[in-house]
A = this chain, B = another copy of it.
Amino acid sequence: MSLATLDTSQHPNLPASSATLFAAKASKKLSFEQIAQHIGRNEVAVAALFYGQAKASPEDIVKLSELFGIDHALLEDQLTGFPDRGKSVEMPPKEPLIYRLYEIVQNYGYAYKAVLNEKFGDGIMSAISFSTKVEKETDADGNNWAVITLRGKWLPFSRF
């Protein structure tokens, strides 16, 4: 099985921590699932952390430092600030896998809005008070299916 790696020449605007963490991951040959089990978070959250899109807690930093044998002070220095999110994906995405997700928003955006509005009223599904997960299903014919779940708090528009 192949592991996800990072080629920094393709991602010049990721934070320094991304290079550190992906190099360690490649060296230890660990999957995000394995890392997630070690630090007790969802694997998507861990991958987001590696791409600089999620914040590491002090405990995360300790555990990552132990797991990968990275100097704790270096990792703390690189991970202690607040993520500067949004720089990893060029929009519209050119990467085919990510484009499919973008296309789902493009095609079903108003359908989601109409159904959510009718179910919840005037508001939005939060992308902040939010979690997500990825699951794998295999059907009777042996076909694999990816299942992505998005779960966000419903925020009604304030009346003022």
Contact = CB atoms under 8 A, between A and B. Distances in A.
A44 B11 CA distance: 25
B47 A114 contact: yes
Max count, chain B CB within 10 A of own CB: residue among A32, A43, A132, A158? A158
A63 B5 CA distance: 22
Contact of A110 (B51, B102, B156): B51
A113 B44 contact: no
Nearest to A41: B160
Contacts of A149: 147-150
A147 to B, nearest CB: 5
Given A53-B107, A118-B32, A82 B2 contact: yes
7 contacts: A1-B121, A7-B15, A48-B111, A100-B152, A101-B127, A119-B136, A147-B151
